[in-house]
Structure 1
C-alpha cells in the first residue's frame, strides 16, 4: 500500500501547527461588572482600602479608577 505525498504533507503540517501552539484550546474569560462603591468616602488613593470596602459591600474586588480617583467595585457578571 502506497501512502500519498499529499497525506504525508498534511499530517506533517498538522503536527507542526500543534507543536508550535498555533492550534490551542480556547480559553473563555468571565465578564466583570463594575460599579462605584456606595460606602467609600473621599479620594481613592489606596487600592487595598478600596478592595476592603468593596468586600464589605459584597463585591469580589475593588480598585481606584479614573481622574477623579473613585473606588470602583468589581463582581463577575
Structure 2
C-alpha cells in the first residue's frame, strides 16, 4: 500500500510540474511571443473573448483560447 501511495503522489507531482511548465511566461516561436493572460485566468471555450481581452486590456497584438475541452487565454505579440 505504501508503494502505491508513493507512486500516486509522484505521478501527481509530475503532472502538476508538466502543467505548470505548459503555461510558462514566454514561448518564442519564430518572431511571435506568447504569454498566458494575466487578467483572465479562468477557463475559456472560444478564442473571440480572449482576442478582445488581449488586445483591449493587455495591449497585445491578439490572443486565442488553447486547450481542450477547457482552455486558457494565450496572448500574442511580435517579439
Q: Which interval holds the TM-score relative to the shorter structure? A: 0.5 to 0.7
Q: Aligned partners of 1:54, 1:47: CA distance in 2, in Å?
A: 10
Where does structure 1 differ by over 2 angstroms across 4 or more consecutive aligned residues? none
CA distance in 1, matches of 2:41, 2:65: 12
TM-score of the pair, normalised by structure 1: 0.56
SS of residue in 2 equivalent to 1:38: coil
Q: What's the offset of the Cα at 1:66?
A: 2.6
**Is the helix fraction higher in 1 or 2?**
2
Q: CA deviation at 1:69?
A: 0.5
Name the TM-score, length of structure 2 as normaliser. 0.54
Q: How does 1:18-29 map to 2 (within 5 A)?
A: none
5+ unaligned residues in a row in structure 2: which ranges? 1-29
Structural RMSD (CA): 1.5
2:62 is equivalent to residue 61 of structure 1: yes
2:25 matched to which residue of 1? none
Match of 1:34 in 2: 34
Post-superposition Cα deviations, 1:4-24, rounded to whole Å, max 9, x if no partner, equal xxxxxxxxxxxxxxxxxxxxx
Aligned residues: 48
